[in-house]
Each structure stands twice: as structure tokens, then as C-alpha cells.
Structure 1
Amino acid sequence: MDARVADKSSMSDVKLELDSFLPYRLNVLANVVSQALSGIYAERYGLGIPEWRVIATLGQFGSVTAKDIGIHSHMHKTKVSRAVASLMRRRLVQRRINRQDLREAFLSLSREGQIVYSDLVPVAQRFAADLSEGFSPHERDQLDDLLTRLTERSLRLLAGADVSQPVSD
């Protein structure tokens, strides 16, 4: 038998079961949770996921650049730009030019944007509490620790760092 055929036949025996593949499960979970939460803010304010992330980031940090929003929210710069433009048209976000670097602008929530943010914070917190209902405080702490470790590990993989070393606790 040809070696290439043998290699292909043995490769076809290898299966990836998505239902037990951690990256797939995390992606499904993230999508389901994001869609469920986005249904709430879409219904109330007509916000999409990128717009909500911009509002949440500005509400948390105050005045930041679009680049900072992208870094914090892990959104591509074009997605951030479109979300900011949409929010500015709706007068939920305002822009102030950086006098030290005229190519850059600081973004912040307008008064109307702050009202939306203030209204949505308790809704989002209630959603998060409902999501983890039935978990003990210890399980919530464990989940938080595991998610932190998975995020750190993923960032190391993304950066191409030596991932053979375990993440320290």
C-alpha cells in the first residue's frame, strides 16, 4: 500500500468530537450567553453586541480611545469604529480630540449614554446572577479562577509564547 494512502486512511480514523472539544464548547457558551444578554439590550435600546461593549467599556473606564476599547473588548478596530459611529449618531457617545496627538480622540459617554449605561448595569448584573444561579460561592470562585487561567493561557497561545510551562497560581 502506498504510504500516502496509509497515512490518509489512518488520519480518517482520527475524529474530533466537537461536543467534548473545549475550544468549541467555550465558543458555543460565549455565543449563547452573548445572544441571550444581547436580546435584553437590543429590545430596550436597539443596541447590538459591539455597541453594548463600547458602552460598557466607556461606562467602566470613562474617557478612552477607540484603540483602548478594541484592546479591552477584544474587538477588531473596524467593528469598534462602526459601533462608535452608530453610538455617536444616536448621541450616546461623544468624542474629544487629543490635543497632544490630533490623530487620536478620546471617547466618553454623553449624558444620554450615561443614562443608558446606568439603566443597563443592574440588568446585566441580574443576568449574570441568574446565569450562575445554583452555583455555590465556592463554585463561583472556582469558575472565576478557571476562566482567568484559560484566558491567560489563551493569550499566551495567541502570542506564540512557550506554552509548555503551566500558568502559575
Structure 2
Amino acid sequence: MSLTLDEFLPYRLSVAANVVSQRIARVYAEQYGLSTQEWRLIAVLGEDGERTQLDLVKRTRMEKVPVSRAARSLEERGLVRRATNESDARSRRLSLTAAGRRIYERVAPAALEAEAEVLAELEPSERAVLRSLLERVERTTIRALKRNP
């Protein structure tokens, strides 16, 4: 048995994710100078509202250090507010400022347009199958990680 990268699922997923992310990054990177990690935090906070940094780690599946760096950067730019978590003084709760909310409201529709462009060659039924398959792969992988950390 030999490894053929073009047929190896982790490689294909990584390449596809990178290409799609690069396309969508044009929207937030060029216009607002945001990194992918910063945009992810803004997107989650825009959709979910105030969250702890640990919540953001879990939701984005990013490591703690990149989440912390992105949060600090966004706070310095006045896009995110960090406050002490009343239930755990060691933890911080993050929320979008008015400026962060404005960026979210401008970028989200443009990101959706970019996503539509990426998926344009797929039929609606194929898009649904793709999402379903990706969700199943994610769930299976998460279960495997929990069994074999």
C-alpha cells in the first residue's frame, strides 16, 4: 500500500479548504485587513453573540493560542471587547463592538456571495450531499479523537 496524496482524504480536504478560504479571504483581508483567524472570531461572535475564549476554541476548532492572538488583535483594533467572565475570573468573555458588528454586517453577505461562486457548478442536491458528507466526516473524526486522544 502506498500513499497517493491526490487520493488521500486529509490532503484533499486541506487543499480544498485552503483554496476556498483563499477565495473568501479576499473579502475580509483586502477590505478590512483581517486574518482568517480574526474573521472566524468575528463571524462566530456576529452569529452567536458574546462567548468565552474557550467557547470560541470549541466552535472554530482552532487552537487556544491563535484564538487568543486573534482576540487580542481585534481588541486592539476596537472590533472586539474582552471582559472578565463573572463565573470564572481566569476566563474572558468576548463580544463585538459597534465597529466589529459593522464589519460583520458588511463582510457576511460578501462571504456568502463568494461561497455561492465557489459552489456555482454544483446542483442544489449536490451541495446538500456535500454538506451532509462533510458533517458526517467531522462527527466521525471528533468521535475518533475522543476515543484516541
Give TM-score scaled by structure 1 length: 0.83
Task: Give the 3-state SS of the residue equivalent to 1:75 in structure 2.
Answer: coil
Equivalent residue in structure 2 for 1:29, among 2, 5, 16 = 16
Structure 1 residues not aligned, in runs of 5+: 1-13, 162-169
Deviation at 1:98, TM superposition (A): 2.1
Using CA pairs below 8 Å that are at least 6 residues apart, which structure has the higher relative contact order? 2
Q: Distance in 1 between matches of 2:2 and 2:90?
A: 50
Query: Alignment length, in residue pairs?
Result: 148
Report what 1:63 is aligned to. 50
Q: Mapping of 1:5-154 within 5 angstroms?
A: 14-154=1-141
Report Cα offsets for 1:95-136 as digits up to 9, x if no partner: 222223222221100000000000001011111111110221
Q: Which structure has greater strand proportion?
A: 2
Tell me the distance in 1 between the aligned counterparts of 2:84 and 2:3: 50
Residue 96 of structure 1: SS of its match in structure 2? strand
Tell me the SS of whatever aligns to 1:103.
Answer: strand
RMSD (CA atoms): 1.2
3-state SS of 2:89 partner: coil
Q: Which amino acid aligns with 1:49?
A: T
Query: Aligned-pair distance for 1:68?
Result: 0.5
Whole-Å separation in 2 of the counterparts to 1:156 and 1:17 = 26
Decide whether the 8 Å contact of 2:37 with 2:66 is kept in 1: yes
Query: What's the secondary structure of 1:104's corresponding residue?
Result: strand
Counterpart of 2:63, as a letter, is H
| CA 1:150–1:88: 2 relative to 1, 3 Å | same
| TM-superposed deviation, 1:34 | 1.2
Alpha-carbon distance, 1:66 to partner: 0.6
Secondary structure, counterpart of 1:94 in structure 2? strand
Gaps of 5+ in 2: none
Instruction: Give yes or no for contact 2:23–2:114 (8 Å, CA) kept in 1.
Output: no
How far the C-alpha of 1:39 sits from its partner, in A, is 2.4
Distance in 2 separating the partners of 1:160 and 1:82: 30
Partners of 2:5 and 2:46 in 1: CA distance: 37
Question: Which is worse superposed, 34-43 or 113-122?
Answer: 34-43
1:166 aligned residue: none
Identity across aligned pairs (percent)? 43
